């Protein structure tokens, strides 16, 4: 039964809206163009081009938290590339879960009389949406590099990368870099999407989008180990004295707890939610 639910979600919630994922491709390509424009002088000086991973730093570089100092003219720039990446993810999740609750998905739920299967299928769909979305962002990066230079490089250019991005990334191990670029951003995206889905089920799609938007704004300005979105910004893992730097190991554990907790909370909410299809009450709480 869960296979039928999942097939339905893939057809109606992913394939049907596949055009939305072009946004991720565009963001990935535009981010590369911004890096090339900012670092054109250094690229010409060293005669090198950035690798795919080094282009990806611009997607997930983020921004250091805003620190207000009395009497100083502190300024802060929102990390727009990072912000738009997660904002468009919110758009890709959309209000599909609300539509499905009042459409054929609800008919399948009533017929199976198992809400747990319906919610588990939606959670797996959420993971697939995020996998496809971030894969499209990296596809945009690959397409840009191929179109611009005729090749795709995976070699490190430490000196060039640090001239463009700063010295924070000197000495970052390959494994930590891959976790920061591939794993943590994906986990943050899943948390954001699950939270959006839960709020959509409990309240409305507008409520889910507003809360996610506010989370992005707050996470852009403030730094805390307890704000999930901070773990999708590589800059937050570094600081001048190391006091406020995030930890990769703690991040992996903390984000995993978030995902499990949201999965369980969503199930409890769906289990207690009143639902009907064409006037037929769905009384099962399985």
Q: Is 73:179 a contact under the CB 8 Å cutoff?
A: no
Q: Which helix (H) or strand (E) holds 277?
A: strand 276-277
Question: What does the pLDDT read at residue 233?
Answer: 92
State pTM to two decimals. 0.86
Return the exposure string of 183-208: e unless at least 16 CB atoms fall within 10 Å of the residue's CB, then b. Answer: ebbbbbbbbbbbbbbbbbbeeebeeb
pLDDT at 231: 95
Average pLDDT over residues 43-57: 67
DSSP state of 244: S
**CB contact at 8 A, 170 and 158:** yes
Strand partners, 280: 277
Closest to 156 measured CA to CA, from 46, 40, 34: 46
* Helix segments in the chain, DSSP class H: 2-10, 22-38, 40-46, 52-60, 80-93, 96-101, 104-112, 115-149, 158-165, 174-178, 184-202, 205-221, 248-272
| Direct distance between the N- and C-terminal alpha carbons of the chain, in angstroms, rounded to an integer | 14
**Do 23 and 91 touch, CB atoms closer than 8 A?**
yes
Percent of the chain scoring above 70 in pLDDT: 73
Distance CA 229, CA 221 (A): 11
Are 227 and 218 contacting, i.e. CB atoms less than 8 angstroms apart?
yes
Contact 233, 63 (CB under 8 A): yes
Least confident of 3-17, 94-108, 126-140, 249-263: 94-108
Instruction: Please write the tens of the pLDDT for every residue from 251-266.
Output: 999 999 999 999 999 9
Query: Residue 74: exposed, middle, or buried by beta-carbon count in 10 A (0-12, 13-18, 19+)?
Result: exposed
CA–CA separation, 3 and 132 (whole Å): 19
Residue 229's pLDDT is 96
The mean-pLDDT minimum among 35-39, 43-47, 56-60, 77-81 falls in 43-47
Q: Any residues with CB less than 8 A from the CB of 180 and at least 6 apart, and which?
A: 60, 172, 234, 237, 248
More confident residue, 2 or 261: 261
pLDDT of residue 250: 95
Which two tokens mark 39?
Answer: 């670092």
pLDDT tens profile 100-130: 887 766 666 655 567 788 899 999 999 999 9
């Amino acid at each position: 039964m869960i296979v039928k639910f999942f097939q339905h979600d893939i057809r109606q919630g992913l394939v049907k809206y596949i055009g939305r994922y072009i946004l991720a491709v565009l963001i990935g390509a535009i981010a590369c163009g911004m890096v090339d424009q900012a670092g054109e002088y250094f690229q010409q000086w060293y005669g090198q081009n950035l690798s795919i991973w080094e282009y990806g730093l611009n997607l997930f570089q983020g921004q250091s938290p805003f620190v207000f100092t009395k009497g100083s003219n502190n300024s802060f720039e929102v990390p727009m590339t990072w912000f738009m990446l997660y904002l468009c993810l919110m758009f890709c999740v959309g209000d599909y879960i609300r539509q499905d609750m009042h459409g054929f998905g609800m008919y399948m739920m009533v017929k199976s009389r198992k809400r747990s299967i319906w919610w588990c299928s939606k959670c797996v769909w959420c993971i697939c949406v995020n996998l496809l979305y971030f894969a499209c962002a990296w596809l945009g990066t690959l397409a840009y590099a191929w179109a611009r230079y005729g090749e795709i490089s995976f070699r490190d250019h430490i000196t060039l990368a640090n001239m463009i991005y700063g010295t924070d990334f000197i000495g970052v191990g390959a494994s930590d870099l891959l976790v920061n670029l591939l794993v943590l951003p994906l986990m943050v995206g899943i948390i954001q999407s699950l939270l959006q889905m839960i709020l959509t089920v409990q309240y409305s799609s507008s409520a889910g989008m507003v809360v996610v938007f506010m989370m992005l704004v707050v996470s852009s300005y403030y730094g805390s180990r307890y704000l999930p979105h901070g773990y999708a910004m590589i800059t937050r893992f570094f600081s001048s004295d190391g006091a406020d730097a995030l930890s990769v190991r703690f991040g992996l554990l903390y984000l995993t707890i978030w995902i499990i907790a949201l999965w369980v909370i969503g199930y409890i909410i769906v289990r207690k939610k009143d639902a009907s299809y064409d006037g037929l009450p769905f009384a099962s709480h399985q």
